[in-house]
Chain A
């Protein structure tokens, strides 16, 4: 059972929950930029939480089903259609062998997640198929390549029935973000936050920042009021997902899933991993605001999400 990639689009990558346990060797985690959309897609199909999916950035991907199957689509609305008929994200769909699943361009959000019952079968490198082009790891060839036309993506539905009726869990409305709304991300004050004076800190929390053209799976460069640290640099240290670096020009860089493992710029704080996911759905020109949260709030936000994921299907 498989899909054939008819058109690869701009950037379609195989991703599982990420590569764990190798950051001490300088190997990044990779994994889905938007964990909320990723885990909900697997949940819709009652898959293993870490099962491999396709992360579709911007769209233009076209896949042909080579077997009957059930898929789930979450995250951005990239103008997807089945045999020309529009479909919405955050739902399950039944595909017949020969059906064409097409993605257009972003309507809302930037990254969509496509899961199939049982997950895509990909040989892992260092325990994961998460595709990291810079490191040449993961993906279909194990060398970090994005999907290309002609790729065959295998899956195994096993004993899973092929009907939609056998899957009843649906995503609670509260877990479906509205990507058209302005975003206001919580920042945990961490790392070198004390090297920023109240005046500098208030710039981050009281002004708007714009997402620039320089965004990728490593980092999101923002532009707005320049923020100054009293430090020029720091002794290089481990970078958490969501860390906000402030380089000498004062323009924040949020470190995302394919970030380098260590770095020496002062950091003012860190987003939550779900916050990183929300940011990853924005494109150049989007406006971002920030507000301070404490670590307890960050923990509670994630526990609530994990609890929702753990409800019986």
Chain B
């Protein structure tokens, strides 16, 4: 673990060097610890793949104090749970039909697999939320099975419909709102990923485990799914 100053009210805690489940678990664990034990001095936390950016009230604590308190909060970091038993597991329904899976054909051609196989491989994995960013609620999940991994589109779409589920290399993500984007779209969820009017706000947090459940067109519609282009 490394703690480095960034500016007068921000430092960054590095918890690993590689993207993966182990880093995600460490980040989730440390995020919970820091947010509960340093609540009196924190202004914001930004967990990501291998790090947590920590912003604090400079009138309450200085660069020495924040470092000492983070170290104390994470002192038993080597004893962190490794069985992932405390991370939430979230089931997300996804419709993989051609109307919404805008790039399924392309992925299938790239992977040299049938479209059904691509869907089956994608929906079998248990994923981890590695980071949230790009836009509110945009969650980066890994790892996508290497058989269906595919680079981003060379020309991004100007508008990707909300709820779209995409693949970029070995990561997969859901667009929580309409936005430009270059991920290869494989399906769409009827679920709202972020709802600023609800108390829970976002459906997933960094470190959560996510499983996609393939649903039929009827189920998709029954859950409030739509075929709006935008």
Residues of A near any B CB (own CB < 8 A): 20-27, 29, 125-126, 134-135, 137, 188, 190-191, 235-243, 260-263, 270-273, 295-296, 298-299, 301-303, 306
Contacts and interface: CB of A to CB of B under 8 A. Distances in A.
A237 B49 contact: yes
Given A20-B44, A241-B7, A242-B7, A135 B53 contact: no
B133 A236 contact: yes
Nearest to B140: A236
Contacts of A236: 48-49, 131, 133, 140
A107 B61 CA distance: 39
A296 B194 CA distance: 39
Interface stretch (B150-158, B160-168, B200-208, B217-225): B200-208
A70 to B, nearest CB: 27
Interface residues of B, number: 41
Nearest to A271: B7
A190 B59 contact: no
B72 interface: no
B55 A240 contact: yes
A135 B51 contact: no
A263 B62 CA distance: 26
Given A21-B44, A237-B50, A273 B134 contact: no
A277 to B, nearest CB: 13
Nearest to A21: B44
* 6 A-B pairs with the lowest CB-CB distances in the bound complex, closest first: A238-B53, A238-B46, A262-B133, A298-B8, A240-B10, A295-B5
Given A24-B31, A126-B196, A237-B48, A190 B53 contact: no
B212 interface: no
Given A24-B45, A260-B133, A237 B5 contact: no
Given A242-B7, A262-B133, A302 B46 contact: no
Nearest to B46: A238
